[in-house]
Structure 1
Amino acid sequence: MTRSARDPLYRRHRFPAEVIAQAVWLYFRFPLSLRMVEDMLAARGVTVSHQTVKLWAEKFGRHFAKDIRKRSAGRLGDKWHLDEAVITIRGKKHWLWRAVDQDGFVLDVLVQSHRSTKAAKRLMRKLLKGQGHSPRVMITDKLRSYGAAKREIMPGVEHRSHKGLNNRAENSHQPIRRREKIMKRFKSARQLQRFVSIHDPIANLFHLPRHHTPSAHHRELRGEVMETWRNIARLHAA
């Protein structure tokens, strides 16, 4: 019997920890719907409903994401790229505010109903609390709300405001755009916030450099990441 089968995290769950962790990994690692994950598990002889996959994704995904955030605390970059993207939910516009570092790792994401200085301040305060330090440089697009918020929240930080400089943050929105299409739009701002709060830390864990990385080294890094994932999901044998 594996340690994961006896771990309190999986107590009262009929399926083995390996199956639950695999479902959560599939759902957040790849742009798959809940029904797609259900079908992929069925192809491996595991009969489980998409509703159960959803419950696993929310319960265990939240736990895994929290663990990943703890492991990455203080290890992310000091150049922050901030950006905002509009998400339409039930006919109403919401703004997905996102911050990534110079290496493309997501620092934080916040769903808000406004694209204003107040919203920018809220994101910056959340970033400072989560990262525990100010950035060396902050890069944004031309939205004036960033400059106004920075002058109050982080007055000593260098601010570079230019549309072309912020491609890293803009590109970071693309996975959520793909999921929005797969999920046939998000149903509420709360659902969107809950999803990105789990999705992005897991995406950070599996964010590996590909450019100018030898294949053998990339496979080694991928193996290390999968080992970390098994530790997070408590899948090691006793």
Structure 2
Amino acid sequence: MAISFKGAHFPKTVILFAVFFYVRYGVSYRDLEEILAERGVNVDHATLNRWVTVTKYAGQVAAEARRRKRSVDRSWRMDETYVRVKGRWVYLYRAVDKFGKTLDFMLSRRRNKAAATKFFARALETNGMPLKIVIDKSGANTAGINEINRMLKRFGCPVPIEMVRIKYLNNIIEQDHRFIKRRIRLMLGFKSFEAAASTLAGIEVASMIRKGQFRDEVCPFKQFANFAV
């Protein structure tokens, strides 16, 4: 689905370039304001922030990117990491396959069975059925997978998803968190949950492009922009 830029006072290409540059590279909104000014585009840093967090162009691009990415391996690694929003910790659920390709991501206010179940259901919807999911010894994630298996059984799936709870096998996703955390660290913090969700979704897409998870052979920015078409 094409993203609507109705009412925007700048060309679509300028908006998408600014959003991509922010989520991909370690710049502040004020830095980005200067970079664009050097290229003849005068846009206030508050407007740049609004494009990412309020209008949620980054989140809209991510929704389309999740649908278009290449298929992944059926052996999954799942974990969550902490993100601070308005002085409080929230949880970024993430999953990759055994080769480190991003499967899915979801920001949640809570870390419990309901959140884990929702994340696993979302990941299955986009990526199909895995053979196994490797997690740490989190009780919430264990309960989430068990709930998904009960749901699958009710729908007639005879073989449950294998759950593996071995911490060292999850090193690959813990290492993968670093790209996301490194980008977050340079920001001044998130003022709202919705702003965090949109920004993090954009960062995840930039990471997926870096990993070569899409069929396009064009440059990274053009890949990002293509998701808005």
TM-score band (shorter)? 0.7 to 0.9
Counterpart for residue 216 of structure 1 = none
1:83 and 1:99 in contact (8 A); partners too: yes
Structure 1's 90 and 54: CA in aligned 2 closer, same or farther, altered over 3 A?
closer
Q: Distance in 2 between matches of 1:193 and 1:123?
A: 14
Structure 1 residue runs of 5 or longer lacking an equivalent are: 1-6, 210-220
Aligned length: 215
**TM-score using structure 1 length:** 0.76
Match of 2:223 in 1: 228
* Residue in structure 2 matching 1:201, options 205, 208, 217: 205
**1:138 and 1:160 in contact (8 A); partners too:** yes
SS at match of 2:43: coil
SS at match of 2:181: helix
SS in 1 for 2:83: strand
Decide whether the 8 Å contact of 2:210 with 2:220 is kept in 1: yes
Q: 1:163 is matched with which residue?
A: 167
How has the CA–CA distance of structure 1 residues 230 and 90 changed in structure 2, closer, same or farther, with 3 Å as cutoff?
A: closer
Q: Provide the C-alpha distance between the structure 2 equivalents of 1:66 and 1:118, rounded to a whole number of angstroms.
A: 22
Tell me the secondary structure at the aligned position of residue 88 of structure 1. Answer: strand
Asked if 2 retains the 8 angstrom alpha-carbon contact of 1:134 and 1:154, the reply is no
Q: Which residue of 1 aligns with 2:10?
A: 15
- Whether 2:65 is the aligned partner of 1:68: answer yes
Match of 2:157 in 1: none
CA shift for structure 1 position 98: 1.3
Whether the aligned pair in 1 keeps the contact of 2:59 and 2:199 (CA below 8 Å) is: no
Q: Is the 8 A contact 1:140 1:146 kept in 2?
A: yes
Deviations 1:95-148 (A, max 9, x none): 2221122232322222233333333222212222333x2211211112233223
User: In structure 2, do the counterparts of structure 1 residues 40 and 60 end up closer, same or farther at CA, with 3 Å as the change threshold?
Assistant: same
Using CA pairs below 8 Å that are at least 6 residues apart, which structure has the higher relative contact order? Answer: 2
Match of 1:86 in 2: 82
Q: Distance in 1 between matches of 2:51 and 2:87?
A: 29
Structure 2, unpaired ranges of 5+: 151-159
What do you get for the CA RMSD once the two structures are aligned?
2.8
Residue 218 of structure 1 corresponds to: none
Q: Could you list the per-position Cα deviations for residues 137-167 of structure 1 after superposition, in whole angstroms to 9, with x for gaps in the alignment?
A: 2111122332232222136112221111112
Pick the structure with greater CA Rg. 1
- Over the matched positions of the two proteins, sequence identity in percent amounts to 29
Q: Counterpart in 1 of 2:146?
A: 151
Alignment partners' CA distance in 2, 1:148 and 1:232: 35
Kindly state the Cα deviation for residue 81 of structure 1 after the two structures are TM-superposed. Answer: 1.0
